[in-house]
Amino acid sequence: MPRLLVVPRWAGTPRSDYYPWLVDALAAAPGRPLDPVVVADLPNPGTPRLDTWPPAIARLLGDDPAVLQDTFVLGHSVGCQAALHALAALPAGARVAGMLAVAGWWTVDEPWPTILPWQDNLPDLERVRAAVPRLTVLLTDGDPFTRDYHANAALWRGRLGAEVEVVPGARHFNAAQEPAVLAALLRLASA
């Protein structure tokens, strides 16, 4: 059965935002389409770093090709960038089943010093494309960190060939329940 690894947002923990609800919703879904569901508890969540988060995600992913092929990854905000870096570091030829990038970005409108390394150091996009055969990105028309969702969507499509969905009014997808995230994940897992 396919498994799911959730990579939280900046300062996110397994108890933040919609993550507990998503775990419960997937457990209650007919046929339990994704099981197990692991929400990463990453080091120093309030200060995500390129030298700590991607290696921690890589350890959670593992390197068994058969397990990776049955693994979906959901990244949220900076968790998308961290997951992309971890996926780019997979062994040559290793692939996951797919990825859902929620509130994913390449730049933020008003960057702060500790987010600049995430903007300025792109993952190896060729390796990401090779490791992620199906990539869906959920954006919104009201994200306070990346207001130009059209430009952001174009970057996701151009850089990684992503399918982009825009959810009106979702802000940064920080609600306690995010039905659009669940629906997009179920579509990705059933494709």
Domain ranges of the chain: 3-190
> What proportion of the chain, given as a percentage, has pLDDT over 90?
98
Residues 8-37 have pLDDT tens digits of: 999 999 999 999 999 999 999 999 999 999
End-to-end CA separation in angstroms for the chain:
14
Q: How many CB atoms lie within 10 A of CB 156?
A: 21
> What proportion of the chain, given as a percentage, has pLDDT over 70?
100
C-alpha to C-alpha distances, 102 to 30, 94, 164, nearest whole angstrom = 23, 23, 10
Question: Residue 176 burial (CB < 10 Å; 0-12/13-18/19+)?
Answer: exposed
Phi, psi for 70 (deg, rounded to 5):
-105, 25
* Residues 122 and 97 sit within 8 Å (Cβ to Cβ): no
The pTM of the full predicted model, rounded to 2 decimals, is 0.97
When the candidates are 3.40.630.10, 3.40.50.1820, 1.20.1250.20, 3.30.390.10, the CATH number that belongs to 3-190 is 3.40.50.1820
* Residues 3 and 32 sit within 8 Å (Cβ to Cβ): no
C-alpha to C-alpha distances, 19 to 16, 22, 40, 110, nearest whole angstrom = 6, 5, 10, 26
pLDDT tens-digit profile, the chain (191 residues): 899 999 999 999 999 999 999 999 999 999 999 999 999 999 999 999 999 999 999 999 999 999 999 999 999 999 999 999 999 999 999 999 999 999 999 999 999 999 999 999 999 999 999 999 999 999 999 999 999 999 999 999 999 999 999 999 999 999 999 999 999 999 999 98
User: So what's the pLDDT on residue 1?
Assistant: 84
User: So what's the pLDDT on residue 47?
Assistant: 95
User: So what's the pLDDT on residue 93?
Assistant: 94
User: So what's the pLDDT on residue 191?
Assistant: 82
Contacts of 93 (CB under 8 A, 6+ apart): 65, 130
